Amino acid sequence: MSRPIFNSVFANHISTFLDFREKGGVKYMYPDFFHLKQLDAFFLQEEITDISFSKDQAIKWKQRSEDESVNAQYDRINSTKRFFEYLFIQGFPVVQLKDIKHPKSKFAPHIYTDEEIDKYFRALDTYESGKDRKHKIQLPVLFRIMLCCGTRITETIKIIKKDVDLELGILRLSETKNAKQRYVVMSDSLLSLMQSFADKTFYALSDNDYIFTSVRQRYLSASAVSGIHHKILQHAGIPNRGSGRYGKRVHDWRHTFAVRAFKQMIDSGADMYVALPILSVYLGHNNIYSTERYLRLTTSMYPYLKEKFEKNLDEIFER
């Protein structure tokens, strides 16, 4: 999307900051522009006329407004702090914003059991859609990528033809949450399914075309996939209840992958201090702290792992 217009005395510096970050490989999306636009409006509201940012102004910017959720406050502050770091490096007298802790969520993702996985994919493989005949061959591939590779739905639907390496059995994820390109490996069974899918569809695609498409869009939307997911759950006879307001979500396939992958590494004899960074990088996390939730979820599900590693987790994450 195009950049918004900034109007404060910081306008040119915001633009050069965005140029600097994008040259470094960071892809800015609507939420980032929205938060910078909020900051620009704050500068105008405070009537700041020179390139400086005081401690009092920083405290005021960090405060949560009456109509702002805790999550929104967290996103706003942590999205804009890099701009102040950039100004500081440039030599301007600006106070640095300290991180604010992400609010704790009581939400517990659903981890699919072996029985549920079997029932789900049996139902998926026989799913008939009157709207799009291509669903018959593309949906089994799409959902298995999320389960077998732990990809986010937004990453999966943005896979293009040249991202698929059938010789090496590797998928490249270019459009990711943290703007970090990464690679995931397909299992033999998934690779075989992908090869069959490619034989039937890739001949009609250019290298930059999305491989998962709808009849109306360039790529299959996340909302469309979510709708199909709930139909499959119903078709498979899996109760669509969960701790969240939307029941069992598409994203729960990623949670399921993470839990199963960590358990498999530990059961195979891998040291936890080795397994943790490997899983963190594979999932595309910025740091190991983003992976903590998956590890604690795994140990809570398997008592023998909890007894063995809970103390180690507390030491790593300093709890």
Give the tens place of pLDDT for each residue, 114-168.
999 999 999 999 988 766 778 999 999 999 999 999 999 999 999 999 999 999 9
Task: Say whether both 264 and 174 belong to one domain.
Answer: no
Task: Say whether both 233 and 261 belong to one domain.
Answer: no
Residue 228 lies in a domain: yes
| Burial per residue of 46-81, b for 16 or more beta-carbon CB atoms within 10 angstroms, e otherwise | eebeebebeeebbeebeeeeeeeeeeebbbbbebbb
Residue 104 lies in a domain: no
**pLDDT for position 109:** 82
**pLDDT for position 217:** 65
Task: Say whether both 236 and 258 belong to one domain.
Answer: no
Confidence of residue 319 (pLDDT cuts 50, 70, 90): very low
Residue 100 has pLDDT above 80, yes or no: no
Task: Say whether both 83 and 56 belong to one domain.
Answer: yes
Task: Say whether both 156 and 42 belong to one domain.
Answer: no
**pLDDT for position 315:** 55
Angle at 106 between CA 102 and CA 111, to 5 degrees: 110
Residue 286 has pLDDT above 50, yes or no: yes
Give 210's strand partners: 160
**pLDDT for position 14:** 94
Give 183's strand partners: 172
Angle at 210 between CA 206 and CA 212, to 5 degrees: 130
Task: Say whether both 167 and 283 belong to one domain.
Answer: no
Residue 276 amino acid letter:
L
Task: Say whether both 207 and 120 belong to one domain.
Answer: yes
Residue 243 has pLDDT above 60, yes or no: no
Residue 307 lies in a domain: yes
SS3 164: strand
Task: Say whether both 199 and 267 belong to one domain.
Answer: no
SS3 170: strand
Spatial neighbors of 174 by CB under 8 A, at least 6 apart, are: 158, 160, 163, 181
Task: Say whether both 134 and 199 belong to one domain.
Answer: yes
Domain containing 303 equals: 253-317
Confidence of residue 107 (pLDDT cuts 50, 70, 90): low
Residue 304 lies in a domain: yes
Residue 96 lies in a domain: no
* Structural domains in the chain (count): 3
Q: Where is the domain boundary, 219, 240, 261?
A: 240
